[in-house]
Amino acid sequence: MILGAKIQIFRIFACMKTTIFLVRHGETVDNARQIMQGQTQGELNEQGIEQAQQVAQRLAKETIDAVVASDLHRAIQTAAFIAAPHGLPVETTPLLRERDWGGFTGRYIPELKGEVWPDDIESEETLLLRARDFLLYLTATYPGKRVVAVGHGIINKAILAVYARCTMREVQRMMNAEVRLLTTSAESTASAAVTASLAASAAAVTSSKGTAAHATGSATAE
């Protein structure tokens, strides 16, 4: 009887919807200079600070239970503005870090077009699995809650792909300080995670054929 009650409680929590306000950080100094930031810390410029303040003002009217950010400085800066009106701390996680661009990090993006991708760039497979793990973590930790998640252009794209069960190429990139609303549960996220795992495996196969990450693709401003 007690075991049955525990299972029922678990099912209730698994079905509870988590509302996610997915945010991309404000514009940074390196965004404006078209420098590939990757997992460097980054610093909001004046426009980025203004963008973060505008997002904070917009979300101040919402009920927010938690604010979670990438552990990179530019995301934490943006999240701090959003968290302040709600009196909430900013929780950080490496799961929300931007893609690791390896040897492309710190390079001027327009010069990368047509270059062979270095082998040390984080693969699309790894990125999708990290996005899956983030959604599983968030829905399991905050069932029924409303959470702001501040990430970056490419990891956010991967999160949206897992959520929508589509490829990353089908997801429109987020602009600086853009907000997208997701509603999901631990149960539906677990189901989407299976799709993400299959997509990640397909991405790995494509990559091994030389048509993806370490082939002759070109880097973009994302």
> Which helix (DSSP H) or strand (DSSP E) does residue 22 occupy?
strand 17-24
Asked if 99 and 84 touch (Cβ cutoff 8 Å), the reply is no
> Which helix (DSSP H) or strand (DSSP E) does residue 147 occupy?
strand 146-151
18 φ/ψ angles, rounded to the nearest 5 degrees: -105, 125
The residue whose two tokens read 């909001």 is 44
- Supply the Cα-derived Rg of the chain in whole angstroms: 18
> Which helix (DSSP H) or strand (DSSP E) does residue 183 occupy?
strand 179-185
In the three-class reduction of DSSP (H, G, I as helix; E, B as strand; rest coil), residue 83 is classed as helix
Among the listed residues 27, 98, 122, 125, the single catalytic one is: 98
Does the annotation count 73 as an active-site position?
no
Does the annotation count 152 as an active-site position?
no
Among the listed residues 25, 122, 124, 152, the single catalytic one is: 25
Q: Spell 46-71 as b/e; 16+ CB within 10 A means b.
A: eebbebbbebbeebeeeebebbbbbb
Strands 179-185 and 17-24: antiparallel
Active site residues: 25, 98
